[in-house]
Structure 1
Amino acid sequence: MSGAAGIMPWPGAGAMGFADPARDLFGSFLWFDMIAGAARPRDLVPAMLTQDGASLPLWCRSRAGALVPVAGLNSPYTLVFRPGGHDPSAVARHLMGQVRGVVRLDALDPDDPAIAALERAAAAHGLAVSRFDHFSNWFMPVDGDFERWLSGRPGALRNTIRRRMRAAGALRFRCFGFGAASPGDGPEPEPVDLDQAVAQFDAVYDRSWKPAEPFAGINARIMRGLAGAGLLRAGILADDDGPIAAQYWAISGGRAYLLKLAHVEGAVARSPGTVLTALMIRSILAADTVDHLDFGRGDDRYKRDWVSRHRTMAGLLLINPRSAAGLAMLARERLGALRRARRRRGQTTGVPS
């Protein structure tokens, strides 16, 4: 299969031009390569736009031997889409010749100036651009002091953490990727090797309330990839019968990202998820140099108790108005905008629209 005009099958030119994962995990070749290999949507193939300063990982469809871009190389596990260093004008110029309908870019940081630059460049090269809200992200700055972080949490959560950690002596906190054990109430960490951490995470996830992952083996793939780069922090909470809660984090660029968590449904009375999250935060703040905690995707009610700041990540639709599919998308977008405007007028006047 050959790519047309600068779009090559993944991995293109390889890791050249991507960020160092220790500084920017989601802009690194490590991250994109994990997603390309383990989170591939049906009927799409990973590819890379690389030409004249443009660098953009993509999901493409194969049409008559050519790679047709559909979306950025994103996934449900991506917290921010930061492609390898690129020239927005070059990206837009080359996409204009490739987009047969619409290319969707998800998980964009709305405050990243490169995103606004890409919007302007796309419009200048004849693409219609539609920005939309993608998902909620809860996070907060921290200064490395667990007790200071805890003192700022809502009273109900703060009291639950302290009470449950004092009562957790019969539980074992097992971890992968930390340095020295951190002091404080609750069980001290016992090191586990990577194979144990992956197996125990999977065992807890399989017994949790959570649905099966859309991509089999994705958690093991991400955990192993992060561990190889020294970025994985995985925690297991166990009783005498085995693991009852598990989660894993990534440490990158001064940020601690909570990527996945689960607990055994039958153990909920002991609040194992709360205990483990508190133990993980305590250990991360003691062992790693981080200035933010990031609770990832979603507006789950519990997140705003653990971290205090919120932002809405953005998405872009890059639409070719000269194509039938692009014209259809523009019509749907305009109809949606009219409906939203009518609803807002109805809310303002009290008259149903």
Structure 2
Amino acid sequence: MVFRIHTKMKTWMQYSCVFILLVVVLLTKMIHSPIIKIPWRSKNHEQDQFHDIYTQRSQENYTLLTESSYDKAVPNNNIVDVDVEWYLADADKFDPERECPLSIEKEQLTIPTERFLIALASFPRSGNRFTRQNIYKVTLQNKQAYNEVHGLDINDTEPDRICYKTHSHGLKYIKFYTGGAILLLRNPRDAVVSYFFFTYSDTGQHDKETVKQWIRTNDTIWTNFTGRALLKWRQTNLHWINYGHRVMISYTEDIRKNAVRELARMIIFVGQMVPLDFLQCTLFTFPWISRKHLDFEPPLPEGLMKRYIDEVNNTLLSKGARPLPTYPSTYL
């Protein structure tokens, strides 16, 4: 009799262990799935119905940690992406002359029940201002609707803070962005040159020709700057890639080629869906504008730069993320 009871208990425990293991596996897959789909507004603008698309947030109960234990808390698959094919299905049918005057006046309906701090992080001169301003323009009505529904005064809040622009990359700083981060990543050759002109010319300290001459002659102002700037490029990207809670990466080169697609990835990532034609009209009105600062090849520490690029690229690959674009070996 005792033997029979012992056998039943053993069998019950075995079944219990299997059940608990299955629950753990299923929950892990739900939490760490790299595809994020957010409720979006129907293309039927008269009905304004929301589709029941599964909303997913990974590790919402993210806790603040010390630097020493931070690397243990960040999952290896913290790099995520979003599915935009369904959203961009009718992108080629866009006619700005016919749709934009009407689209601009449409009211947005994405009203989250809660908001998380999301960073728009980058090394300086990587497209952060363009991206932030267009996210603001596209989602402003969503923010206003959110504030009205939740009893907030739009005049007492910052209306552009769907995500927070930052060039900081310290671990104590990164951990506060519990909603994750969009990381804008640009070819360091272009970013460093642009950053140099921004630092010494765009702020009004020196005229552009003087700054160009420093680069042409490989002046110590230029050489000292490039060493520091390249190290900052490396640290900014590696810190966010390794320690960001939930990170979506957008390459600046891809924004230049297809801003609609990249902005679509971002607004879905931050949970601020809008009709596709509204996004297209916004970017049609405020397009990406490229500019070159130099008409000659700048002297750069090629070996150091290649080492940093390889390090960032290998880190991305180790996390299953898309590799860096193939950067040209010249500035021109």
TM-score band (shorter)? under 0.3
Radius of gyration: which is bigger?
2
Higher helix share: 2
TM-score (norm 2): 0.26
